[in-house]
Structure 1
Amino acid sequence: MSSRASLQKSLGIGLTLGVTLLWLMGVIASGLVAQHEMNEVFDSALEETAQRILPLAVTDILNRENRASNLRAPALKEHDEYLTYLVRDGEGNLLLQSHDANPGDFRSHPSEGFSNTPSHRIYGVSAVSETIYLEIAEPLAHRREAALEAGVALLLPLFLLIPVSFLGVWWIVRFTLRQVVEFQKSIESRGAGDLSPVATDRLPVEFEPIATAVNQLLERLHRALESERSFTANSAHELRTPLATALAKVQRLKGQMDGDPLKKTVIQIEDALRSLSTLSGKLLELAKAEGGGAIAQNPQNLVPILEMVVKDFASQAQGRIVLSLPDNAVDSFLDPDTFAILVRNLIENAIKHGDPAQLIEISMHDNGTLKVCNGGGIVSPAQLDLLRNRFVRSTTGASGSGLGLAIADAIAKGAGMTLHLRSPARERQDGFEAEINLRNRQ
């Protein structure tokens, strides 16, 4: 699996996580501020309540005939108290308490001001020359519950905002990078032989240098391929013409030398020129195969080309070739001229090195698979691996340059295809088979 991530995905996830993190930090900060403000409000409520209750409690205590009576204030009805209070003297003796107060929640000795116990927040105030103390207690759990509810109230919108933010960020990123995605698809969808400039309209400024560099590279590659094709064509003409002229003159000289002892030497020169002409043609084919021009800009139907090439070999094979063609067209991005060179070399290899008494089977299927199969001896696995190299031939007495399969393999690699060589051939005990799929590209 590739470790590279999509730019849209990275930006979408990164921005969403960033927004979410900022929201969380904002919620935490808001929660802390809210908690501080609530503590101030609760403390103010404790102080205000104490100021309201203290005069009433002092009046009640001073008007008693017996201070030890009515220590618990009566409740009008049953209810839960968040605030409870005690009224004590300076020595800590209980004078009055709210109906639900627990003396254990308070400090052992009363004092003025705010203080905390493990479970309560306490506020104390005194009266009558600090002889009567009123203390009000509020459970800390009540404050924590209020802070938690405030925090939850701040967090709840975040669960809705996270997916909304993700969708919004994703849409903005996708909308912003739409031209970059189109640029990517335009490059991916074009064939390997399409060297036309890529569109740079409305690309973001950051990507314009990339598109410009790609177009410059495509232009240089196009010029290099055109130069290679021109050189190959010119070289073929410049080499073949002098060789053909020299060969014709030697043949004419040979015809005029009946009985001459030098005729044998002239025949050897003729054979050498003929071999040199064949070798030069193969070298030019190899140069074309390795020149990068194996791919066409548009797919072409290769069935008629195969049929035409096979007809050219009809006289050489003397009825040995059995051709099987598909009913439908086989379209491929392989350049038609390059395909003709590929097929020609495979057929020449089968004619030269196959058993003359056996048929040469050539077949093309609808899925684009081309097979050339001939009878003959079995090529060892060690030799089979070397046949793709230049000037390498198997143990055979047939003439040849050892370039046919090297040319075919170079064409296959240049087109992003794979040439399979087998010996013995499939479903046979002997022979040799070459197979390539003209549609499957790596």
Structure 2
Amino acid sequence: MPRPRSLRRDLALGFSAGIVLTWLIALLVGWTILRSEIDEVYDAALGRTADRILAIEEIQRGTPGRSDLLARMIGPEGQVLFRSRHADGALFDVNRNEGFSDAGNMRLLTLKTEGGGLLQVAAPLEERSAAARETLAGMLLPSVLLLPLAFLGVSWFTRRRLAPVDDLSREVAGRDARDLRPLGLSDLPAELKPIQRAVDQLMAQLDIALTAERDFSSNAAHELRTPIAAALAQTQRLVAETRDPAARARAEGIATSLRRLSPLSEKLLDLARAEGMTGRDHGLHDMVPVMRLLVSDFDGRVRLELAEDPAPIAMDIDAFAVLARNLIENALVHGLPPVVVRLSKEALVVENSGPPISPEALAKLTHRFERAGSQKRGSGLGLAIVETIAHNTDASLHLTSPAPGKTDGLRAEVRFKSSNE
């Protein structure tokens, strides 16, 4: 079994190799420059030796010297045996102690001869400063040139090695409560595998919990329909048979509550079905007949406008029917008829008239049991069901109030994804 990749080991080895490689390159470049400087120093020393010989000859012949090396020799009695043409006596008189010393901008060497005399030689300090500057530049130049390359190399290496971290982050960030599949990443470093396992376990637990919640809502709504219908029938019979006005009024109140409870159970069942949808139906279905059938159920309170016939849409027919019905019912309950419905292969638009809704309330309309302050009878689940179906079928819901081109009303638009996306 191959050993799993380790992010810690890869980074340590990579950085170490990069540091060693950069150091070797810098050492090679520095050695090349330093070798050139050493050659210059030795060449200069060789040149000065020749200059000394020439200086002695020039002094003896009395010809002008060309060397910047100054020299003076004095005998045991203090008499000057020879001196460079441009040598200043005050320069050599600064220090007659044997050894090296500085005199202004000159470096002075004093040696005692066997006869008790002195040999003094002086050279400008500028040459030493120039050599030091060139040597320092030779050492710094490789670093200046290699540091940007080192930074680029570190950036490229870390980005490459940390790519699995970015992949894992994007995979986790792209998930929500409706997408609880295990993370599909296989080639992860050893340090990230425990994180992937923990996230997969958490998603599995969430899936179990949400499935149980949806099953409970679906089963509860389904099982409540028959008892609610039976209770409503018994209450209506009680209203018809009782002669006591007070008892009849209480029975009518119970019947009214049961009538409101019945559609609520239907909406809860629709919501549970919508939450259980995964993905979208990639097959194209003509939704015009479905839309015509739905509109016919509302007794002329809905005006259907078709941009084209047919209107192929990549969505399950039952899901589209639940989505469209909830949009139309919401527009009728909370607005004024007629409700205008426009259908094309790109979008379904439902528009009504009525008081405009504030942006703050509009942003909350897709929340469960949200009525935006409306006192009209409704479950508060219609737009939540529409939003859930739209999300699970790769469509998008957009709410606008006032409706475009009007001063009132609400426009709900569901945009569908094209079949080739």
Local SS of the residue matching 1:345: helix
Percent of aligned positions that are identical: 34
Look up the match of 1:118: 104
Matched, 1:282 2:291: no
- Displacement of 1:112 in angstroms is 0.9
Look up the match of 1:434: 412
Aligned equivalents of 1:106 and 1:310: distance in 2?
118
- Displacement of 1:85 in angstroms is 1.5
Q: Is the 8 A contact 2:221 2:269 kept in 1?
A: yes
In the TM superposition, 1:260-279 aligns within 5 A as 261=243, 270-279=255-264
Matched, 1:349 2:330: yes
Letter in 2 for 1:344: R
Q: Is the 8 A contact 2:312 2:345 kept in 1?
A: no
Local SS of the residue matching 1:205: coil
Aligned equivalents of 2:279 and 2:77: distance in 1?
105
- Displacement of 1:194 in angstroms is 3.3
Matched, 1:232 2:214: no
Local SS of the residue matching 1:296: coil
Q: Is the 8 A contact 2:327 2:386 kept in 1?
A: yes
Aligned residue among 395, 398, 401 for 1:422: 401
- Displacement of 1:115 in angstroms is 1.1
Alignment gaps of 5+ in structure 1:
1-6, 61-69
Local SS of the residue matching 1:282: helix
Q: Is the 8 A contact 1:88 1:110 kept in 2?
A: no
Aligned residue among 339, 358, 378 for 2:355: 378
- Displacement of 1:322 in angstroms is 1.3
Q: Is the 8 A contact 1:301 1:329 kept in 2?
A: no
Alignment gaps of 5+ in structure 2:
1-6
Letter in 2 for 1:144: S
Local SS of the residue matching 2:297: helix
Aligned equivalents of 2:137 and 2:312: distance in 1?
68
Look up the match of 1:296: 278
Aligned equivalents of 2:126 and 2:291: distance in 1?
94
Aligned equivalents of 2:71 and 2:344: distance in 1?
101
Aligned residue among 281, 290, 293 for 1:308: 290
Aligned equivalents of 2:411 and 2:295: distance in 1?
18
- Displacement of 1:276 in angstroms is 1.6
My pick for the range that moved more, 261-270 or 346-355, is 261-270
Look up the match of 1:63: none
- Displacement of 1:277 in angstroms is 0.7
Aligned residue among 113, 127, 141 for 2:113: 127
Q: Deviations over 1:85-124 (max 9, x none)?
A: 2223568764322345454554534221111223122211
Q: Is the 8 A contact 1:193 1:296 kept in 2?
A: yes
Q: Deviations over 1:171-197 (max 9, x none)?
A: 543443344444445556678743221
Aligned equivalents of 1:306 and 1:402: distance in 2?
27
Letter in 2 for 1:312: L
Aligned equivalents of 1:392 and 1:417: distance in 2?
21
Local SS of the residue matching 1:116: strand
- 1:305 and 1:235, CA in 2 relative to 1: closer, same or farther beyond 3 A? farther
Q: Is the 8 A contact 2:339 2:350 kept in 1?
A: no
- 1:372 and 1:328, CA in 2 relative to 1: closer, same or farther beyond 3 A? closer
Q: Deviations over 1:10-40 (max 9, x none)?
A: x99x969x959x969x88xx89xx79x97xx
Matched, 1:223 2:200: no
Aligned residue among 105, 113, 136 for 2:121: 136
Look up the match of 2:74: 88
Question: Aligned residue pairs: how many?
Answer: 386
Q: Normalising to structure 2: TM-score of the pair? A: 0.68
Q: Is the 8 A contact 1:320 1:359 kept in 2?
A: yes
